[in-house]
Amino acid sequence: MSALRILVPIKRVIDYAVKPRINKTQTGVETVGVNHSTNPFDDLSIEESVQIREKKRAPGGVEDICVFSAGPPKAQDNLRNALAIGADRAIHVALKEGEDLEPLSVAKMLKLVTEQQKSNLVILGKQSIDDDSNQTGQMLAGLLGWPQATQACGIEFGAGDMVSVTREVDGGVETVRAKLPLIITTDLRLNKPRYANLPSIMKAKKKPMEKKTLADYGITSERRLKVLKVTGPEARQGGGKVEDVDGMISKLKELGAI
């Protein structure tokens, strides 16, 4: 089997523990002064790549794990963290603060990166939790003409470059099989991302990080889609108010609920 050269694209997004607020102009979610973190699905991709290497799951071994992010300067922190978890090197494409790419632009750029890095496996999050597009992996597969296995909850490597991917579907799981090169997108139950430990955080500082711009890939951040308006979910209708716990219990008794 060929040795794996894994590409892991990651995105810096609003920390999922933060409650998102809609900005004043209603064009998106407020990102200024809000904590950010790596898109949780991407944490799974990083962890999975490192586990494939550590547990020697691929018969041909893992030759390279490259993490990639197009994002603001702070995205380098997220790349460093991925390096601390166990990726070998990173590529950062600098975007201006607030600049955002549509999935198609990202996919086009990733196509070039995949070719340049000679990757034969790309593991992406199934979606990023800021725009929830769930498109990039699929578009990339289309552009490259590679097979894709989305929403993976299990990945196994067999002989002759065969990869079996278990995916979560409504009402159960489905197992698909394809040959490398391949696109995989990750779902929640794939693994449990680890904490980066101190020695590796320190080591990660010395790992290579290439710095690029959109122009290097011939990409612009032009938009094909226009956001008309972003609004929050409708406020819940207020219910009745009981005075205290006992009031609630008697109310529940009255309603025959307990």
Partner 1 sequence: MASRPQLAPVLRRLGRAPAHLRRPAALQQSVSLPTRCFSSSRPRFFQRTAVVAKSTNFTTETYPDIKRDSRFAQLTPEHVDYFRGLLGSESAVIDGVTKHEAADDIEPFNSDWMGKYRGRCQLVLKPGSTDEVSKILKYCNDNMLAVVPQGGNTGLVGGSVPVFDEIVVNMGRMNRIIDFDEVSGTLVADAGCILESADQFLASKGYIFPLDLAAKGSCHIGGNLATNAGGLRLLRYGSLHGTVLGIEAVLADGTVVDDLCKLRKNNTGYDLKQLFIGAEGTIGIITKVSILCPQRPQAQNVAFFGLESFEQVQLAFRAAKGQLSEILSAFELMDEGSQALVRQVTKNPSPLEGRYPFYCLIETSGSNADHDGEKLQSFLEDVMEKGIVADGTLAQDETQVKSLWAWREDITESLSHLGGTYKYDVSIPLKEMYQLVEDTRARVDAAGLLGDSDEFPVRAVVGYGHMGDANLHLNVATRRFDERVEKVLEPFIYEWIAERQGSISAEHGLGLMKKKYIGYSRNPTMIGLMKNIKNTFDPKGILNPYKYL
Q: Which residues bind partner 1 (CB under 8 A)?
A: 15-20, 33, 35-38, 40-41, 81, 129, 132, 188-189, 192, 194-199, 201-202, 233, 242-250
Q: Describe the strand order of the beta sheet including 172-179 as a list of residue ranges.
A: 172-179, 162-169, 148-157, 182-186, 121-125, 4-9, 62-71, 89-94, 209-213
**Which residue, 18 or 176, has its beta carbon nearer to partner 1?**
18
**Which residue, 64 or 168, has its beta carbon nearer to partner 1?**
168
CA distance 258 to 251: 9
Nearest-approach distance from CB 201 to partner 1, in angstroms: 6
Nearest-approach distance from CB 147 to partner 1, in angstroms: 25
CA distance 81 to 100: 22
**Which residue, 9 or 181, has its beta carbon nearer to partner 1?**
9
**Which residue, 145 or 240, has its beta carbon nearer to partner 1?**
240
Token pair 């040959």 in the structure block, residue: 179
Nearest-approach distance from CB 29 to partner 1, in angstroms: 9
Nearest-approach distance from CB 204 to partner 1, in angstroms: 11
What is the three-state SS of 93-125?
EECCCCCCCCHHHHHHHHHHHHHHHCCCEEEEE
